[in-house]
Amino acid sequence: TGVGVSPHHVLEGHNGPVSCLGFTDDGSRLVSGSEDGSARVWDTATRQVVRVLAGPARGPISALLVLARPRFLTASHRAAGKSSAGGSGGEKGGPLRPQPLQPFQRYPADCKPW
């Protein structure tokens, strides 16, 4: 590096120390959790905040896990002619919604516990 050039880029936005980091699988996003109670999603190409997530409790965030979105929840999956069993989500763009779960029953109606 030359004189006066920093090899590091600083992402500014949290109001407290950053306590955890995670990248998406493709490296396009960085998620940072902070002791200020917020998580921020950063675009790694532009180094800009894409979204700020803050819980109602506003407690410190000490760990995070970045997971890939399941393919059945993406609009591109639906555009390819595939849909979920119930077709929930409508014809509008956006992710599909999973079908609601059946009400919990401790024992099936035709089965007795003893």
Q: Average the pLDDT over 74-102 and give the result.
A: 57
User: Tokens 């790694």 map to which residue?
Assistant: 44
Q: Give the closest residue to 66 by CA, choosing from 51, 45, 48, 88.
A: 51
Q: Residue 35 in contact with residue 61, Cβ under 8 Å?
A: yes
Please write the tens of the pLDDT for every residue from 13-35: 898 999 999 999 899 999 999 99
Q: What is the DSSP letter of 24?
A: -
Highest mean pLDDT out of 4-8, 12-16, 40-44, 89-93: 40-44
Strand ranges inside the chain, DSSP E: 18-23, 29-34, 38-43, 48-54
Looking at per-residue pLDDT, the higher value among 100 and 24 belongs to 24
pTM exceeding the 0.85 threshold for the entire prediction:
no
